Structure 1
Amino acid sequence: MQITGQCHCGAIRFSATADPAKVFACHCADCQIISGGPFRAVIAVPADQVELVGTPKQYVKVAASGNRRAQAFCGDCGTQLFATEADVPETLNIRLGCVNERAQLKPVVQVWKDSAMPWLPELDSTPAHMRGRDSPLA
């Protein structure tokens, strides 16, 4: 399927041909810390299937295994865009949060589930509130 997306400020945009069967959620500690969330959802796309407009900044994370992963983000607004191999990018793990078609891209597998937050299964029973004056979050 064709996907499109952009960073929050629009300085970086992309389009790609992606396989919906390549969507996954990662619960590893690195993904939790780098994303600022309890997990990260991505779609793996061959680098040659992605058209990128704009130049993201990159941070290279060296894993305990020695693997070098480039984390690409917008240098203006900070939106995380994708991660890829640092030396020769073959696959871009595009962050679902910046994909326009994200509601159609349900993860088909979870990785590092042992690191998942124990409260995630309870979210369905957590009350939903609109943010506003009457919200407990106001």
Structure 2
Amino acid sequence: MIRNGRCACGKLTVSIDAEPVGTRQCWCRQCQQIAAGGPSHNAIFPSEAVSFTGPLASSSWTAASGNTLTHWFCPECGTQAYAQSSARPHLKTVRFGMIDEPHGLKPEVAIWTEEAPAWARIDPSLEQYPQQPPAPAPKD
């Protein structure tokens, strides 16, 4: 299935030609900051399956995992596009909000749950990790 998407202003587009190797809801403090206090919702794809057209800006920092995390976004409207970890350059973590609906994706795992605020409601049916989980295994 090919998925397409765009940022809020439409100047940045994405085309994804693969199924995700995993989907996650992330409660780390950095994701809470970029997601206005809640978690980020992400689909992880092989890097070569994801292509962007249009302007991209980035910022990087050392994540709680100890890896350098680079977030890519539209410099015009600020829409978060994807993230990439120095530990996993073969993967791109695309934000659900960047992908056109209906994309059919939902979180399979909640991560960094120990950093979730006390008011957070985490679906108990999700596999949960208090911190960074292992890298997702490739799907057949």
Shift of 1:112: 1.0
Unaligned 5+ segments in structure 2 are 123-140
* TM-aligned CA distance change 1:12 to 1:86, over 3 Å: farther
Partner residue in 2 for 1:17: 17
RMSD of aligned alpha carbons: 2.3
Shift of 1:84: 0.7
* TM-aligned CA distance change 1:85 to 1:37, over 3 Å: same
What amino acid sits opposite 2:99 in the alignment? V
Partner residue in 2 for 1:93: 93
Q: Is the 8 A contact 1:80 1:95 kept in 2?
A: yes
Note the 1:71-86 alignment, pairs <5 A: 71-85=71-85
Shift of 1:65: 4.7
Q: Hey, what's the Cα distance between the residues in 1 that align with 2:19 and 2:118?
A: 30
| Worse overlay, 17-26 or 77-86 | 17-26
Q: Hey, what's the Cα distance between the residues in 2 that align with 1:36 and 1:121?
A: 16
Which is richer in helix?
A: 1
Q: Is the 8 A contact 1:47 1:90 kept in 2?
A: yes
User: Normalising to structure 1: TM-score of the pair?
Assistant: 0.77
Aligned residues: 122
What amino acid sits opposite 1:51 in the alignment? S
> For 1:9, what is the secondary structure of its paired residue?
coil
* TM-aligned CA distance change 1:18 to 1:41, over 3 Å: farther
The CA deviation string for residues 50-96 of structure 1, in whole angstroms up to 9 with x for no partner, is 12111310001122554111100001111110001359832110000
User: Normalising to structure 2: TM-score of the pair?
Assistant: 0.76
Shift of 1:37: 3.0
Flag the structure with larger Rg. Answer: 1
> For 1:84, what is the secondary structure of its paired residue?
strand
Q: Hey, what's the Cα distance between the residues in 1 that align with 2:64 and 2:108?
A: 26
Q: Hey, what's the Cα distance between the residues in 2 that align with 1:43 and 1:102?
A: 14
Partner residue in 2 for 1:31: 31
Shift of 1:3: 1.4
The CA deviation string for residues 89-116 of structure 1, in whole angstroms up to 9 with x for no partner, is 3211000012113661111111011222
Q: Is the 8 A contact 1:18 1:43 kept in 2?
A: no
Partner residue in 1 for 2:115: 115
Unaligned 5+ segments in structure 1 are 123-138
> For 1:120, what is the secondary structure of its paired residue?
coil
* TM-aligned CA distance change 1:99 to 1:112, over 3 Å: same
